[in-house]
Structure 1
Amino acid sequence: GKLQAKAAIRDVGRVLQMPYGQVDRISKMIPANPANPVTLQEALDTEPRLREERANDPDVARLIETALKLEGLYRHASTHAAGVVIGDRALDELVPLYRDPRSDMPVTQFSMKYAEAAGLVKFDFLGLKTLTVLDRAKDLLAKRGIKIDYAKVPLDDPAVFDLLSTGNTIGVFQLESSGMRDMLRKMRPDAFEDIIAIVALYRPGPMENIPTYIRRKHGEEAPDYLHPKLTSVLKETYGVIIYQEQVMEIARTLAGYSLGDADLLRRAMGKKIQAEMDQQRAIFAKGAKENGITQKDASHIFDLVAKFANYGFNKSHAAAYALVSYHTAYLKANYPVEFMAASMSLDLNNTDKLNIFRQDLERMKIPVHPPCLNHSEVEFSVEFEGDKGAVRYALAAVKNVGREAMAGMVAERTENGPYKDLFDFAHRLNPRHMNKRQAENLARAGGFDTLHGDRAQVFAAIEMLLKQAQQSEEERGSGQVNLFGGAAEVAVAKPTLPTVARWSATEKLKQEFDAVGFYLSGHPLDAWAKTLDKAGVRSSVSYLAGLGAAESAATLAGTLMAKRELRTRKGKPLAFVQLSDSSGAFEVTMFSETLDRYRDILVVGQSLVLKVTGNLDNEQPRLTVQSLQRLEALAANITDGVRIFVDDDKPLKEVASILKAGGRGRGRVALVLNMERDAREVEIDLSSSCNISPEVRDALKSVSGVVDVHDI
């Protein structure tokens, strides 16, 4: 790495033993521009305060003069993350080498520029996570007997272009940002060349040409090829210069450049060195004149090409990226279940990304089955019933369970068959592979549901099950035999599971959220669907999808997931609040007045109804809360009544007492009794109407034995 202006000032100041505060102040006078770092001389030319400091303080003058001499020198050795150089003989015969202590590979002592001058060719080998996604999807398809060869995938599949044109590109390489999806919907690509252009255009600089490209593609504007001779060069991009190769072809076509000279022109334009630009302009004008092009036209075209060349993208690079984009889009369009499972496996520990994938699966109407000890794999897998596919949630994606522990359980299941019940699991578990926290999180996520359906009871039994696992392991290790001899396995008596109240639906979802990172089997707002519909509440996904630059208002509902309070520069409180509804997660901003008014109800897990205004700011949604209230308070005014779900008659007396204390009202009440033996439910309407206030609803939900309370 080379010494840049700020670093040179700081290093020299340290050597000169100048006060840190003084050196820091001088350093901060140098403008920061990471994309195009300012030199110390440029800073002196443009920053009067820096010149004043140098003129008034001999120590600062010495600091700056020394830094000017050192700027640009190599500060330390660094290795290119992906650069590999290739020569026509042993490298130590061509360039000096040294051994990087952090690597086993030798490294050239020459920088990229000088290594090239010494006759070496440099290649960048970039590791790409998406290639692993493609490979895993291929393996999942092979398990269904479907063989796919990406080299033979047709590049004109209508399903791919339909997918791209709708902007449904979550998980598609390079094409999944909100801005990119919006661009795809406007462009409606219908050829592979469009994808190449998209990859090259969607970057700072070229982005300003996107509207022109789209208008010309759809025939709303005539292409401008700059000169008739350039039609063949610019036809595929509708007259918009996109690629560096087009710069080189323009030079060859109009001014007779050789390939090598055209590459020198491209480099000169990219560097913007005035002396080189003036030299190239003269060469270009001379060659163009020999081809019958006027000096005026040649100069105009040279200026247009020079403007582009500053940010032009290499088409061969864009094509390579576009091919990976196409292959991922091909999988999503034709084999969405395998593609999504493979994509999710590469983001096992990123719950935010997993939730985005889950929402996308929901949009595609592809079920996500919960984690399961008897059906899940370590990573995400697929399950099919006929033509209907589903993604099975990965065991290792549950929070804090550990990949190695899950791999051990899956290996045991593969070798000795499915687990029969909780005690069979405990008997076969290696206790060194799982601790209490891991087992509890599996229970909260529903991992034991096929062995025992009551999550609260499983959660309460974890410590007992782990003790049983330890006992079984000790007995196996001691070589004990049973009474009848021969068998090494010892039959262990099944203890009784602890008796605890079932988790209510709300509590079950809360525990699942804590273990998975989002709501998987349902959402707390599901029970309020009719109330939300009556109140005109919109889903967050539909509202966010329609946001633009102009401000719009909406009523949203969400369960509070997290809150972060800050202070503005003026010292006023400000909060960023994260919520989720059944369609996805969203964030709102609350300013001081609103925050002070509603702070008491901003509790994690609380469901709220919010009136918001929002718009897009730099393609990011910005939502501001105008007012909010507890969802229960809204429901009290508009609900027709409630259904109270119970497992038996034990809670009925307490339920009746709460309803009586609440008084009469207009709310209908129905009791729904779960008849486990007959696998059915019985619903009984109460004869009197009751007051279903937020307090009454909260009290009903807290009754032991009440499974859930839903709106009618």
Structure 2
Amino acid sequence: MREPIANIVLPEDVLKNLTKADKLLIKNTIKGTNERYKDFPEEKLSNEELLRRVSYELEVIITMGFSDYFLVVADFLQVGQKIGHMPLDRIEHLRAHMTEMSIEEMISYIEEDMSYPGFTIGIGRGSGAGSVVAYVNYITNVEPTQYDLLFERFLNPERVSMPDFDSDLSKAEAPYGVRDIVIEYVGKKYGYDGVCGICTPSTLAPKAAVMNTANILVDREFQKKKGFKEGDYIPNSEKDPVWVEINKHYTDLSKAIRADIPEDPGTTFSSEMEDGSTLYESLKMKYAGSKDATEIIELANMLDGVNDNYGKHAAGVIIADNGNVGEYGALMYDDESNGWKIQMNAVECEDTAGLLKMDFLGLKTLNIITMALRLIYENRGIYINVENLPDDPEVYSKIFATGNTVEVFQFSSNGMKQMLKKFKPDKFDDLTLLNATFRPGPMKYIDPIADKKHGRPVETSAFDKVPQIQELLAPTYGYPVYQEQVMRIFQIMGQYSIGGADEIRRAMSKKKQYIIAENREIFVHGGEMENHRTHKSIHVGGAMELGIAEDTAYEVFDALSDFAKYGFNKSHSLAYAKTAYMTAWLKLHYPIEFYTACLCIEENKEMAAILADAKANGVKIAPVDINTSRAGFTCDTEQIYFGFAGVSMEKATQNLTHDYVSVADFILRGGIKGSKLEGLVKVGAFDNFTTSRKALLEVLPVYAEHMEAIKKAQANVTKYTNILADMEADPEGKTLLKKYDRKSWPKKEEAQTRLENAKESLDFHTKAIKAQVIPMQQFKDTMYERLQAEKDLCGLYLTGHPVDMYGTPKDNGCMEIINSTGNCHIMGQISNLRICSTKADASKKLAFFDIEDQTDKIHVCCFTESFNNNGSKLANDMVVKLSGTVKADKQDPDTLQFILNKGDKSVIPLAVAKSEFTFNIKDLTQLKELQDKLSDFEMAGGHPAYIYDMSTGDRMKLDICLMDEAENIRVA
């Protein structure tokens, strides 16, 4: 344990002018430093180095006037962290009643019970993770010195801009969400009038301006032709032949003009074209012969960049220092969020009005992690601090290196999976590197970095020629991956100050060519560098002064310039990698709880992929069952139980007792009827009571008739029981006629008879339901019919997959689609088949379709030669084996395609490998007669078979495991 730090060393001029906020920040920093670094090894960071780093950062923060900012962020994030440890029912109670509570009552209620594990506030991504002061104030959870993170990337005296913490909070819309509660806390603490959202103005780009202008001109010309005055009501104009003609004319002009406008983001009418003219001048010249087209272009040019709508910033929240943000600018009400927003964008808020913007980013991964931790705690009694996990080699080898990353934060996309399989990360630094590399700038370095990591020969790069930067680039295998490395290269090679290096790095990322051009010569030869934000001049030594060759220096600068347009800062990437590791660790060690959390938190469109991945990782999924399923997905230590929410039945099933012994018992007590009941049958909720869903659907109308009769009979039983009781109390019937609004009163004997008739009817229809035979022999549904009904109803297959009957990919010598890579074989069912002709020759055909196995789906391209050899074997719903190559889509590297080989055996239709059948058994002794048949029935691992009473559909409480290792029938 190291000696505690007692004081911070600051310059005398700084100490003289400390504000109340400065003093509080210093106090909190000393306390937090001693807590955070109490057990941190001194050999990694001595007390002297730690004190020097903390003192330097505080000096910068205080001098630049950002102490308040650090205190505010630390305050609300610590509240969010505390909420994450409350029991769920208390979180929900707090959310329901937080507006009624004072801030003191909120804090008291939160701190009353924080006994659960949780992770509702993120690591703290963004450049702020490079600050030790942020770390010790619990704003971030990354120790910066251990990973060589630069404070100057976040804040430095030569960078005159607001600091920006990217604060992740669990999403309010899902269980364990804290974002809305924290924002309410901020409103209470700093005043509701001082807190508001931020506008996001939507501006008209050239294409939209042209389209809007053309539409307006259509109405104007139509009014002229018809003699209407401006503002007159024009009935059914779109059906008028004159309007149709005018509309076609202007629509055609609009389409032609818009086709000549580049797709590049950020294009305006003043954008420079290849010939040196602006887009506006180019369009005017091309359409000079058309008066109407010219008018469209001229008017659209006037609309270019005009605001046409105002949204609300998804995460930004303004906190004013005066308690009334309205004094800084006009506000407008946002109906969607039921709150105010200032009529400025985020940049104007900070740069023009000097307002403080906080980022409250909602991140559902935090909800998933928290739910997984809670499930582990409840199921196994294990309390896990996810922020302090061990570095486990198996997490890298079994999850990341194999691309087994479905639902692993930031690594679950197809492109990421391919990169992981190629790179095979084996340490945490690799995750940080890959997170930063998978983007346009550094992506070109992926192959050589992977080759270097695995000892394969690589072509020499410009960076290899500079000895001074080899140690800097060693962690990233000789290539710059992070913005911090770019800054350091400018500092080392060009001899820039660290602030000056950040200035040129920012200019490169913003593509400010004039700054880049002037610094290219300064980087190589040295000179005076002007900071265009502070307007101060700084002398730079240049690379050649260090003996670096001129051509090498130019080559390095140009490579950095290209890279910096898209580079990631290491602090941001590392925080992402930390969160990714957490999800991967949970997936490896507690897959049942992890997948349950994913299924509960993720949107339904992700469900099929999550279920497939869970099964591929050996997790058992109990199907929808009227007794074991609950509203959401649940689990124990053995398996996951499918929830009714997964089949959109949570509301209909919320009052079930889950103790039904038969279909008849459920019909009588379940309280669900009509289409909802049909839906439950189709998704298999009664499969434990009957072998045929089709048969059960056939008798539902009969059950419905009996239940309607029971409803009427029950009403009459209640009615005449009450009448007889009233007669007993009032034999003369003086008050009964008035009470029941009747002119005459039945005799007591008649009322008694009606009561007995109602009871007989109730008994008859109840017995009829219990005696109803489910005709399973007469109506047998196939596996395909069951699965197709599930897909039609829920959008996914629940109890299997159509491909199951053809064996697994491994059985057929194929790779699973989810893990497919390079040249390979895959199998699956064809869907969305589209056959078309080539543009050049209508006689030449090609095909595009999707193929899906039990794990995933991929788009297949069958080009002309391959179609000639295999086209006749393609049809929707067919199950086939394909030979080809997995490649990334050129337009979207994250989307994979399967390119079919050209040979005539690239498509092989598959035959059914497995079948399903039912045996009728009178008693257990007959099971021995089935041994030969059962030995041919492939059920890997001895799946359970059920004994049913064929007359009622009731399941007998007996499970039979088909075969044991000695090929004997086992009875459980």
TM-score range, shorter chain: 0.7 to 0.9
Question: 1:457 pairs with 695, 709, 713, which one?
Answer: 695
Q: CA deviation at 1:144?
A: 1.0
Identity across matched positions, percent: 28
Q: Does 1:164 align with 2:400?
A: yes
- The 1-side partners of 2:555 and 2:541 are apart by 13
Q: Does 1:288 align with 2:522?
A: no
- The 1-side partners of 2:558 and 2:339 are apart by 45
- The 2-side partners of 1:343 and 1:677 are apart by 43
Aligned runs of 1:38-437 on 2, under 5 Å?
39-43=269-273, 45=276, 50=283, 52-89=285-322, 90-117=324-351, 118-154=353-389, 156-162=391-397, 163-220=399-456, 224=463, 227-230=466-469, 233-253=472-492, 261-281=500-520, 285-286=526-527, 287-289=539-541, 292-293=545-546, 296=550, 300-347=555-602, 349-350=604-605, 353-384=606-637, 389-398=638-647, 401-406=648-653, 408=654, 411-413=655-657, 417-431=658-672, 434-436=673-675
C-alpha contact (below 8 Å) 2:880/2:908 kept by paired residues: yes
Q: CA deviation at 1:470?
A: 5.1
C-alpha contact (below 8 Å) 1:30/1:40 kept by paired residues: no
SS at match of 2:610: helix
- The 2-side partners of 1:475 and 1:579 are apart by 55
Closer/same/farther in 2, CA of residues 84 and 545 from structure 1, 3 Å limit:
same
Which residue of structure 2 aligns with residue 622 of structure 1?
A: 899
- The 1-side partners of 2:412 and 2:335 are apart by 39
> Which letter does structure 1 place at the counterpart of 2:451?
R
Closer/same/farther in 2, CA of residues 21 and 155 from structure 1, 3 Å limit:
farther
- The 2-side partners of 1:51 and 1:524 are apart by 59
Closer/same/farther in 2, CA of residues 343 and 24 from structure 1, 3 Å limit:
same
Which residue of structure 2 aligns with residue 695 of structure 1?
A: none
Between the two structures, name the one with larger relative contact order (CA 8 Å, sep ≥ 6): 2
Closer/same/farther in 2, CA of residues 60 and 583 from structure 1, 3 Å limit:
closer
> Which letter does structure 2 place at the counterpart of 1:445?
V
SS at match of 1:404: coil
Q: Does 1:443 align with 2:681?
A: yes
TM-score normalised by L of structure 2: 0.56
Gaps of 5+ in 2: 1-201, 219-248, 528-538, 726-758, 890-895, 934-972
Which residue of structure 1 aligns with residue 182 of structure 2?
A: none
Closer/same/farther in 2, CA of residues 542 and 307 from structure 1, 3 Å limit:
closer
Residues 112-152 of structure 1: CA distance to partner in whole angstroms, max 9, x if unpaired? Answer: 32222132343443322322222221232122134444543
> Which letter does structure 2 place at the counterpart of 1:368?
I
Q: Does 1:32 align with 2:263?
A: yes
Q: CA deviation at 1:328?
A: 0.9
TM-score normalised by L of structure 1: 0.75
C-alpha contact (below 8 Å) 2:834/2:849 kept by paired residues: yes
* Larger Rg computed on CA atoms: 2
Closer/same/farther in 2, CA of residues 145 and 244 from structure 1, 3 Å limit:
same
Gaps of 5+ in 1: 649-673, 687-712
Q: Does 1:547 align with 2:822?
A: yes
- The 2-side partners of 1:543 and 1:141 are apart by 27
C-alpha contact (below 8 Å) 2:861/2:900 kept by paired residues: yes
- The 1-side partners of 2:671 and 2:801 are apart by 35
SS at match of 2:929: strand
Question: 2:772 pairs with 496, 512, 516, which one?
Answer: 496
Residues 335-357 of structure 1: CA distance to partner in whole angstroms, max 9, x if unpaired? Answer: 1111122223344632xx43333
Q: CA deviation at 1:562?
A: 5.3
SS at match of 2:317: strand
Q: CA deviation at 1:22?
A: 1.4
Q: CA deviation at 1:463?
A: 2.8
C-alpha contact (below 8 Å) 2:599/2:607 kept by paired residues: yes
Residues 225-251 of structure 1: CA distance to partner in whole angstroms, max 9, x if unpaired? Answer: 775554564343233222223333444
- The 1-side partners of 2:683 and 2:260 are apart by 54
Q: CA deviation at 1:329?
A: 0.4
- The 1-side partners of 2:873 and 2:514 are apart by 66
SS at match of 2:416: helix
Residues 301-358 of structure 1: CA distance to partner in whole angstroms, max 9, x if unpaired? Answer: 44333222111113332223222211110111111111122223344632xx433333
> Which letter does structure 2 place at the counterpart of 1:25?
A
RMSD of Structure 2 on Structure 1 (CA): 4.3
- The 2-side partners of 1:468 and 1:143 are apart by 43
Closer/same/farther in 2, CA of residues 348 and 244 from structure 1, 3 Å limit:
closer
- The 2-side partners of 1:464 and 1:348 are apart by 37
SS at match of 1:126: strand
Q: CA deviation at 1:558?
A: 4.5
- The 1-side partners of 2:298 and 2:835 are apart by 46
Which residue of structure 1 aligns with residue 205 of structure 2?
A: 4
Q: CA deviation at 1:202?
A: 0.6
Residues 345-384 of structure 1: CA distance to partner in whole angstroms, max 9, x if unpaired? Answer: 344632xx43333332333222222211111222222233
Which residue of structure 2 aligns with residue 664 of structure 1?
A: none
C-alpha contact (below 8 Å) 2:860/2:899 kept by paired residues: yes
Residues 38-94 of structure 1: CA distance to partner in whole angstroms, max 9, x if unpaired? Answer: 544424847897354244345544544444444333333333222223443342333
> Which letter does structure 1 place at the counterpart of 2:365?
T
- The 1-side partners of 2:861 and 2:922 are apart by 46
